[in-house]
Amino acid sequence: MNENLLQYLWKYKIFSKFDFKDTEGNPIEILDFGTLNTNSGPDFSLAKIKTKNIVLAGNIEIHVKSSDWYFHNHDLQKDYQSVILHVVYFNDTDIAELKEAGIPTLELKAYINEEILAKYQTLENQYQFIPCESIFDTSKVPFLFSEETLLKKLDEKSIEIEQLLTQSKNNYEAVLFQKLAYSFGLKVNAEIYQNIAENIDFKIIQKISQNQFQLESFLFGKGNLLEKETETNQKWKREFDFLKTKFKISEQTFPVKFMRLMPPSFPTIRLSQLAMLYHLQPNLFSKILKAKNIQELKSLFENVKTSEFWENHYTFEKTSEEKIEKKLSDDFIEILLINAVLPIIYTYFKNINPEKTDQILEFYKNLSPEKNSIISSWKKLNVKFSSALETQAFLYHHKHLCSYKNCLNCNIGLKILKD
């Protein structure tokens, strides 16, 4: 037993019976359980009770043991003089000043179902995937859980996007380029690609994007792929050196990584595709805003591929036997939409046209469910996924609640404990 659980039970009124009596046997009617106080002072404010035919309004303090009143030095703190009820799990001693002031103590031990404690203990124990794995039930997932959770995630992402907008003087095109660069990098190179994008004046990107080879050379150079001139990379190296001089660009580079990547995701391939994207779609953000459905969004990326050299290369040094047009796959396009495009659209419309929120959720509903180890683990617990709306929600929920064992702030956990 701990105070967090007691506060949780009190907040959500999870008791086996409500015919409360104080430690002296006097009936107590809780007219208002109060509001949880997350700052200093008593645990619940604005509460109201009726005892001995008298209505009292004020604060409620909750402890595991009544002696915690002294252990926490509340007898010396003025904030606690407004307490109208002392709620404890176990009454191990009388509190003299409360008794003298006629403030009742309510012992909760007899009012809490032991099954609740057993469930909570299960949540607190070691687990493989989520704390409630052994008692998880898909029927406890609240109605509209995915929609509400995804909106929380989008709100969180929009904070970061708004910070980038401040830095770029509210240039949505520049911020979209930065977030797309991040997504092109996947886990291995995401931050590196974003660093490259953030350290280039987007006006330069717009100027050189008219020439796909120039933009590709520029990205390769900033990714430290052209550190040394070789027989195969010399034309990119010369172009990068020319652009550095022309635009007075710093020598700083951000070395990209090849480790743990499959050849189609090598930096040479992804940066070439990113260059092609902005060559084909120089005003990408304005076009994204005009998209009426997910197919129109996807169409902006469908013709993106590498430059011709990379059709039979993955690195500068080795030539592949087979020549393949390396276009963005449909799965990768959906990754870009999920992680970069849709959060940007949400941020744009959040304050000027909140009604667009429903359309953005609809976009997520029309994207395929993601595939990764977290989603596979949810599936083992019989969670069904039909779209990216649901996978995004459960990924966010696992990351921010389950992985921290934050069960008392989980709306699924609430239903598991209550039912």
Read off the pLDDT of residues 234-256 as tens digits, 9 standing for 90 and up: 999 999 999 999 999 989 999 99
pLDDT interval class at 4 (50, 70, 90): confident
Confidence at residue 131, expressed as pLDDT on a 0 to 100 scale: 87
pLDDT value at 126 more than 70 = no
pLDDT interval class at 230 (50, 70, 90): confident
Provide the β-strand partners of residue 35.
45
Confidence at residue 125, expressed as pLDDT on a 0 to 100 scale: 67
pLDDT value at 122 more than 80 = no
Rounded CA-CA distance 198/204 in Å is 12
pLDDT value at 108 more than 80 = yes
Report the DSSP pairing between strands 83-90 and 54-65: parallel
What are the two backbone dihedrals, phi and then psi, of residue 390, each rounded to the nearest 5 degrees? Answer: -75, -45
pLDDT value at 370 more than 70 = yes
Query: ∠ at Cα 66 (61, 72), nearest 5°?
Result: 65
Instruction: Check if the beta carbon of residue 410 is closer than 8 Å to that of residue 393.
Output: no
Task: Please compute the mean of the pLDDT values over residues 25-39 and round it to a whole number.
Answer: 93
pLDDT value at 419 more than 90 = no
Confidence at residue 180, expressed as pLDDT on a 0 to 100 scale: 98
pLDDT value at 341 more than 80 = yes
Q: What is the 3-state secondary structure (H, E, C) of the chain?
A: CCHHHHHHHHHCCCCCCCCCECCCCCEEEEEECCEECCCCCCCEEEEEEEECCEEEEEEEEEEEECCHHHHCCHHHCHHHHHEEEEEEEECCCCCHHHHHCCCCEEECHHHCCHHHHHHHHHHHCCCCCCCCCCCCCHHHCCCCHHHHHHHHHHHHHHHHHHHHHHHCCCCHHHHHHHHHHHHHCHHHHHHHHHHHHHCCCHHHHHHHCCCHHHHHHHHHHHCCCCCCCCCCCHHHHHHHHHHHHHHCCCCCCCCCCCCCCCHHHCHHHHHHHHHHHHHHCCCHHHHHHHCCCHHHHHHCCCCCECCHHHHHECCCCCECCCCCCCECCHHHHHHHHHHHHHHHHHHHHHHHCCCHHHHHHHHHHCCCCCCCHHHHHHHHCCCCCCCHHHHHHHHHHHHHCHHHCCHHHCHHHHHHHHC
pTM (two decimals): 0.74
The amino acid at residue 340 is A
Burial of 163 (0-12, 13-18, 19+ CB in 10 A): exposed
Percent of the chain with pLDDT over 90: 79
pLDDT interval class at 303 (50, 70, 90): very high
Confidence at residue 260, expressed as pLDDT on a 0 to 100 scale: 85
Rounded CA-CA distance 238/24 in Å is 89
Confidence at residue 297, expressed as pLDDT on a 0 to 100 scale: 96
pLDDT value at 227 more than 80 = yes
Confidence at residue 77, expressed as pLDDT on a 0 to 100 scale: 87
Question: Distance between the two ends of the chain, CA-based, in angstroms?
Answer: 19
Confidence at residue 40, expressed as pLDDT on a 0 to 100 scale: 81
| Tokens linked to 412 | 């699924």
Confidence at residue 127, expressed as pLDDT on a 0 to 100 scale: 63
pLDDT interval class at 113 (50, 70, 90): confident
Instruction: Check if the beta carbon of residue 267 is closer than 8 Å to that of residue 223.
Output: yes
pLDDT value at 383 more than 90 = yes
pLDDT interval class at 216 (50, 70, 90): very high
Rounded CA-CA distance 373/211 in Å is 40
Confidence at residue 404, expressed as pLDDT on a 0 to 100 scale: 86
The amino acid at residue 109 is K
Rounded CA-CA distance 10/271 in Å is 55
Rounded CA-CA distance 64/104 in Å is 16
Cα 158 to chain center, whole Å?
A: 11
Task: Please compute the mean of the pLDDT values over residues 173-181 and round it to a whole number.
Answer: 97
Closest CA to 348 of 291, 304, 394: 291
Task: Please compute the mean of the pLDDT values over residues 139-161 and round it to a whole number.
Answer: 95
Task: Please compute the mean of the pLDDT values over residues 56-74 and round it to a whole number.
Answer: 93
Provide the β-strand partners of residue 61.
86
pLDDT value at 287 more than 90 = yes
Query: ∠ at Cα 2 (65, 418), nearest 5°?
Result: 115
Confidence at residue 386, expressed as pLDDT on a 0 to 100 scale: 97
Percent of the chain with pLDDT over 70: 99
pLDDT interval class at 154 (50, 70, 90): very high
